[in-house]
Amino acid sequence: ITWSPANLVSCQNCDTVIAKPAVTTTFYATATNNLNCSSTDSVVIKVYTPFTAIPTPADLYICPTESIRLDIEPSNKKILWSPATNLSTQNNYSPIASPVKTTTYTASLTDSAGCFTSNADIVVHVKRAATVNAGPDKVYPYNFNYTITPTYSNNLSLYNWTPTKFLSCNNCAIPDGVARVTTKYIIQVVSDSGCISKDTVNI
């Protein structure tokens, strides 16, 4: 009997050998009788190597009520995410996270043989919301001068009013207006962290 690759077995011509491959390897055994007839068979030894779980990326940012997909490498491992709170699944790659506050999700990856495990964290940061209340609807006589005074959160960086007709400005917090035509005004605001909110008021 002859084994190959010969350098990876303890004995090239023994019927029982010890093999210690560093990577997945196919070993071939060829048996030959005294009439020089031979037969060959093979066996694959699969080698599991250490790996490192890598988040892509490690920090994610969302606004309140938003969701985001979590991604991690390498693929094709057994995976368990924790905590399960506001997560679409614990046992699959790329779950959808919808946390209500900043949350650290830990992915635990294990190869199919259970030889090696690696953990990695992804932090989903929930940014401060932008809030606006345009106030109650108002009724004014024709050509009346009025002011719209919404209530805002204190973290806003942009204001946008539509439509702009009969308003003193379209990008200010408190516009003045003239009552000419019944109008629904929409105020959209953006927070300093990029979150958006809107409200309406009927004049």
Token representation of residue 199 = 């409200």
Give the model's pLDDT for residue 61: 96
Give the model's pLDDT for residue 148: 97
Give the model's pLDDT for residue 79: 96
Give the model's pLDDT for residue 47: 93
Give the model's pLDDT for residue 64: 93
Rounded Cα distance, 33 and 173, in Å: 96
Give the model's pLDDT for residue 67: 96
**Residue 137 neighbours by CB distance under 10 Å:** 10
pLDDT digits (tens, 9 = 90+) for 148-189: 999 999 999 999 999 999 999 999 999 999 999 999 999 999
Query: Distance between terminal CA atoms of the chain?
Result: 96
Cβ atoms of residues 80 and 92 within 8 Å: no
Positions in the chain whose pLDDT score sits under 70: none
